[in-house]
A and B are shown apart, each in its own frame.
Chain A
Amino acid sequence: MRIMTKRKFDGITIFLFLLPALILFIGILVAPLVTSGYYSFFEWKGFGDSTFIGIDNYKVLFKTFTHKNAEVPFLWAARNALILALCSLLIQLPISLGLALLLGKGFKGERFFLSVNFLPVLISTVVIGQLWKKIYYPDGGLLNTILRKVGYLKADQPDITWLAEKGADGKSYLLGSVIVPMLWQYVGYHMLLMYAGVKSVPPELREAAKIDGATDWQVDRFIVIPSMKQIIKVSVIFSVTGSLKSYDLVAILGTNKTRVAAVPSTLLMDQMTAWGRYGMGSAIAVLLIIMCFFFAILIGELFKDREKV
């Protein structure tokens, strides 16, 4: 052990080994975080003079809840992101868990189903977005055609405009239409994470429980799932922070300008690229980071408490 603990020039060695990572980390993560915080107190177009306006940017973001009259509907976007997170927790993760439990048991065709279910994770989100755009399309899109074939839509009824900000019937399905492919795409990701957890349960444990007369469901409920707690925690954190930072499918199926289905990132991009309001964009970025940290820590704590009980 003596040999391990101290060597000459260790300080320099440590520094040199950490250097590349530190440069990347501080240059691209830490420094921008700090500057974002700084910019968020200014009104600034990204070039030229900037005006210090205190917390006015934040005041605008927190002014009203609805998306209708808000200058920047941030609270509404945060609500949408949380709805997305909730759907992910209540719909996506249970499906993933179910698939993982089934496949982990040594289901026939285990590998085939594993591969197929993981497939959507590898397809570019842009491609998936374009495909779903055509699925949702009115006038001959897949979904409307199916709805007509099964008789849900009558001949005299117009197609449902799934992706409209405000449809003919005054309702908007945009948020729901965005959530479905989002959930679908990453079921496979969480399935594979959880499958790893299922597989790491020692088979003897499973057999022992079965000998004691446990049903398959009881084995899953009392042995497999509790021993997967670490991985489920990771999945929950990924799915919640992933929902908070979602952008691609909202921007492709809607636009950066969407209000009904806005998420914090579309607002950020809209403020930055369309309006050139870099201060406001920075304020959104700061709030986005705070939300991500808040939920990551909260989830960590929730799982910790359970461990004690």
Chain B
Amino acid sequence: MAKNTYTGSDISKYEVGKTSVTAKVFIWIFMIIWAIINLYPLFWMFTFSLKDNMQIWTTNQFGLPNPAHWDNYKKALNAGPIIRYFLNSVFVTVITIIVTLIAALMATYALTRIHWRMSKAVEKMFMLGITIPIQASIIPVFIVLRQIEMLDSYQALIIPYSAFALAMAILICTGFMTEIPISLDEAAYIDGCGRAGVFFKVILPLMKPAMATASIYTFLQCWNELIFAQTFNNKDEYMTLPAGIMQMVGTHTTDWGPVGAALAIATFPMLIVYVLLSRRIQDSFIAGAIKG
């Protein structure tokens, strides 16, 4: 074919891309509109958190707040223990991630580094957890928690969250762990390490990227979780953000500014972390998608 006779300079011309200018303009417009659709709700939340009811509903729905009611934030903080909810959420999420990682790393080690007959079957069994929805177990878990008087506690959320995050974490860890060469294990065995020694000295240090990835997927799963959070905890002391906000909004529906402020307080710390770490978060998420 004539096309095979292209010279080097022709190739570079094609690499530059031959999308037409109109197509490019169209694509840019689409991308920008989509970005605005994603950003506008946040911007709007921030502006209405500084407005009074009059501005929100009639005089100034789209513009910047004028005058800005910074006291909405004070009202929101006085209306309910948002900070407490936020810290509860952080605590529950962090402990869930730790528990999930420990259980998943250990299980993955037993499943992928040691040869035994049932290992594939057990791995398949764990994978069922990806499909089972968390709320399907709510009634039995609720009854057990009530019986052992563990409702209204951090464990009431941490244990189920860890159990349901486990399948995904094992899947991700398996993807990463099978890439570590077996010869490393063997060298360690020759040096006199046992199974546990290999796990702690060889495998764990190499699993840091896997831990980052599994943490992000676990985080996404439990930070937003509403059903368990709402059903198992009725005390402010242990309530996480989603359940806490639902409760606050339910009781303060006449004055919208402070509601907006509460939503903003709940959102912005996350947003700042995301802006700072977005690249690493995305890279870890992507690694999970490829290895999982």
Interface membership of chain B positions 256-292, coded 1 if the CB is closer than 8 angstroms to chain A and 0 otherwise? 1001000100110011001100110010011101101
CB distance from B181 to the nearest CB of A (A): 12
Rounded to whole angstroms, the CA-CA distance of A132 and B57 in the bound complex is: 14
The reply on A51 being an interface residue by CB < 8 A is no
Rounded to whole angstroms, the CA-CA distance of A278 and B226 in the bound complex is: 20
Rounded to whole angstroms, the CA-CA distance of A19 and B6 in the bound complex is: 62
Which among B63-71, B72-80, B188-196 touches the partner chain?
A: B188-196
Which among A69-77, A111-119, A169-177 touches the partner chain?
A: A111-119
Number of A residues, CB within 8 Å of B? 100
Contact A184 B45 (CB under 8 A): no
Interface membership of chain A positions 13-40, coded 1 if the CB is closer than 8 angstroms to chain B and 0 otherwise? 1100111111011011101110110010
**Chain A residues with CB below 8 A from B14, complex form:** 207, 210-211
Contact A130 B139 (CB under 8 A): no
Q: Which of B142, B190, B289 contacts A196 (CB 8 A)?
A: B289
The reply on B91 being an interface residue by CB < 8 A is no
Q: Which of B107, B263, B282 contacts A114 (CB 8 A)?
A: B282
Contact A139 B57 (CB under 8 A): yes
Contact A36 B274 (CB under 8 A): no
The reply on B61 being an interface residue by CB < 8 A is yes
Rounded to whole angstroms, the CA-CA distance of A122 and B224 in the bound complex is: 8
Rounded to whole angstroms, the CA-CA distance of A244 and B131 in the bound complex is: 10
The reply on A48 being an interface residue by CB < 8 A is no
Contact B137 A32 (CB under 8 A): yes
Contact A17 B110 (CB under 8 A): yes
Interface residues on B, range: 35 or more
CB distance from A7 to the nearest CB of B (A): 6
CB distance from B173 to the nearest CB of A (A): 11
A19's closest neighbor in chain B, by CB? B106
The reply on A157 being an interface residue by CB < 8 A is no
Q: Which of A184, A248, A278 contacts B139 (CB 8 A)?
A: A278
Rounded to whole angstroms, the CA-CA distance of A134 and B260 in the bound complex is: 10
The reply on B160 being an interface residue by CB < 8 A is yes
CB distance from B60 to the nearest CB of A (A): 11
Q: A27-B163, A123-B42, A212-B3 are in contact. Are A292 and B34 (CB under 8 A)?
A: no
State which residues 237-260 of A face B: CB under 8 Å: 237, 241, 244-245, 247-248, 251-252
**Chain B residues with CB below 8 A from A207, complex form:** 11, 14-15
Which among A59-67, A264-272, A301-309 touches the partner chain?
A: A264-272
The reply on B121 being an interface residue by CB < 8 A is no
A252's closest neighbor in chain B, by CB? B246
B185's closest neighbor in chain A, by CB? A4
**Chain B residues with CB below 8 A from A24, complex form:** 99, 103, 159, 162-163, 166
**Chain A residues with CB below 8 A from B58, complex form:** 140
State which residues 90-142 of B face A: CB under 8 Å: 99, 102-104, 106-107, 109-111, 114-116, 122, 125-126, 128-129, 131-142
> Can you give 27 contacting A-B residue pairs, CB < 8 Å?
A4-B115, A4-B182, A21-B106, A24-B103, A25-B125, A25-B166, A32-B139, A36-B136, A109-B31, A113-B31, A115-B282, A118-B282, A125-B226, A126-B226, A127-B45, A127-B266, A134-B256, A188-B38, A189-B220, A207-B11, A207-B14, A244-B133, A248-B226, A248-B242, A251-B226, A286-B136, A292-B131
6 tightest A-B contacts by CB? A140-B57, A28-B163, A245-B133, A32-B140, A21-B107, A17-B110
